[in-house]
Amino acid sequence: MGAGKTMLGPVLAERLGRRFLSVDALVEERTGTRVADLFVERGEAGFRELEERVAAEALAARPPAVIELGGGALASERTRALLGEHAFALLLETTPEEAWGRVAASDRPLARDLESFAALYARRRHLYETTADGRARDVDGAVLACAGVHVEPGSVASLRELVPGGGDVELVVDAGVDRLHGPAARAAAGGRLTASHVVPAGEGAKTLAELERLWAALRLDREGTLVALGGGSACDLTGFAAATYLRGVPWVAVPTTLVGQVDAAIGGKTAVDIPDGKNLVGAFHWPARVVTDPELLATLPEEERGNGLAEVVKTGLLAGEDLWELDLTDQVRRCAVFKAAICLRDPHDRGERLQLNLGHTFAHALEAGSGFSLPHGRAVALGLLAALRLSGLESLADTVASLLHPERVHVDRERAWQALMRDKKVVDGKIRLVLLDAPGRPFVGARFDPETVRAALDSLIA
């Protein structure tokens, strides 16, 4: 009571693309009577009975909604069981004083004076704590909690507690990262850690041979959790191993690159490469948690930082906010919130998640044209430039140029073009691209003649 559910709930529902249901409002609608009057007419027990019934209906609603549950609803064992079965229960963190400040002037039957209010808060606290699947103080925090993303400097030190469940943990770690952060992560996993598997640094981890080696080495049962420590490559491999081993075990990502923290570890896409192309074999398998510790980025080489900055700039353009101006932790947090919300709204990449490809059609073509020797960040910087120019947003293209310094690259033009054509089928003589109407207003499905797209691609090549 007074935690801010009524304010935050509808905003969260909109961010997640869901309906918002308030159990109190539904009870009032059914009975045509205000909650305060129901307490008088039927007593608290009578109200709780009604509340329990309506909460059960709300929890069974499909598609699932964001549901505001009244402060005392958790006293019902049935409601708690239903929450455990059907819901992600989010605890809004507050203090008795803060909550009292919100309810003192209301006519709520159980908020008559601060002393009894604080006593009620203390009595209910344990139920809240033990029922909650996640906790948050604001809407961004709520989005992150729903996506399982925990952003906190130094959080790797709490790895044992942050890996959900109590089962064994096996660590999959990028060889380069192992030297820098492996010992600390292993120590933090403590007694839950039963094995460590070192995989090649970077993209070399994402092969069928490495996957097979990992499958054979794993000893986890289905209560156990695979934990990835590394950049997007280690996370992609580990996530796919977790999706397939024993037909699926939970996994946790601990991303150690900026790309990993703002992009790759969020959203449940996992994959390995095959000789025919990158990420061609994979699965959607949402991590049980993403432990994002921006302090891990201190050891990141400059080129890897640049790769991440390109994704930060892309996210800022899509969000319509200068996210690149924020300090590192806020930058990581805001980017993670943005991507998490889109992926929660479109978990299987059937719609608006496509906007995350802004600039990437050109980037992938340039990478292919370079025989995959071009750093991803340089390719994305050029891709964003082309997308913004085709969007008619020249001054934004200048901003991107001043942030990312894209330089035309020497790549095989024909190979780049063929790769783009393979990526983007020509439909009715047109190629569809993701562009921007304005900052914060992505436009998925802009249609262009192949000649125009080819000219835009050519302009990026030296």
Ligand X SMILES: NC(=O)c1ccc[n+]([C@@H]2O[C@H](COP(=O)([O-])OP(=O)(O)OC[C@H]3O[C@@H](n4cnc5c(N)ncnc54)[C@H](O)[C@@H]3O)[C@@H](O)[C@H]2O)c1
Determine if 314 is a binding residue for ligand X (CB under 6 A): no
Interface pattern 37-66 for ligand X (x via CB under 6 A)? ------------------------------
CA 250 to CA 228: how far, in whole Å?
Answer: 11
Least spacing, CB of residue 36 vs ligand X, in Å: 49
3-class secondary-structure state, position 21? strand
Determine if 252 is a binding residue for ligand X (CB under 6 A): no
CA 368 to CA 86: how far, in whole Å?
Answer: 44
The answer to whether the bond into 442 is cis (omega within 30° of 0) is no
Task: Out of 5, 48, 108, 269, name the contact with ligand X by CB under 6 A.
Answer: 269
CA 254 to CA 173: how far, in whole Å?
Answer: 10
Q: How many residues does the chain have?
A: 462
Determine if 232 is a binding residue for ligand X (CB under 6 A): yes
Of 359, 350, 279, 250, which is closest to residue 311 (Cα–Cα)? 359
Q: Which amino acid would we find at residue 385?
A: L
Determine if 423 is a binding residue for ligand X (CB under 6 A): no
Least spacing, CB of residue 285 vs ligand X, in Å: 10
Least spacing, CB of residue 326 vs ligand X, in Å: 20
Are 96 and 118 in contact, with CB atoms under 8 Å apart? yes
Least spacing, CB of residue 238 vs ligand X, in Å: 11
Least spacing, CB of residue 357 vs ligand X, in Å: 11
Of 146, 171, 298, which is closest to residue 237 (Cα–Cα)? 171
CA 363 to CA 381: how far, in whole Å?
Answer: 8
Determine if 256 is a binding residue for ligand X (CB under 6 A): yes
Interface pattern 180-219 for ligand X (x via CB under 6 A)? x--------------------xxx--x-------------
Q: Which of residues 79 and 261 has its CB atom nearest to ligand X in the complex?
A: 261
Are 240 and 286 in contact, with CB atoms under 8 Å apart? no
CA 23 to CA 418: how far, in whole Å?
Answer: 55
Q: Which of residues 1 and 309 has its CB atom nearest to ligand X in the complex?
A: 309
Determine if 358 is a binding residue for ligand X (CB under 6 A): no
Determine if 261 is a binding residue for ligand X (CB under 6 A): no
Determine if 140 is a binding residue for ligand X (CB under 6 A): no
CA 95 to CA 133: how far, in whole Å?
Answer: 19
CA 32 to CA 38: how far, in whole Å?
Answer: 10
Q: Which of residues 68 and 236 has its CB atom nearest to ligand X in the complex?
A: 236
Determine if 419 is a binding residue for ligand X (CB under 6 A): no
CA 102 to CA 6: how far, in whole Å?
Answer: 11
How many chain residues touch ligand X (CB under 6 A)?
Answer: 31
Determine if 257 is a binding residue for ligand X (CB under 6 A): yes
Determine if 267 is a binding residue for ligand X (CB under 6 A): yes
Site residues for ligand X per CB under 6 A: 174, 176-177, 180, 201-203, 206, 230-234, 236, 256-257, 259-260, 263-264, 267, 269, 278-279, 296-297, 299-301, 304, 307
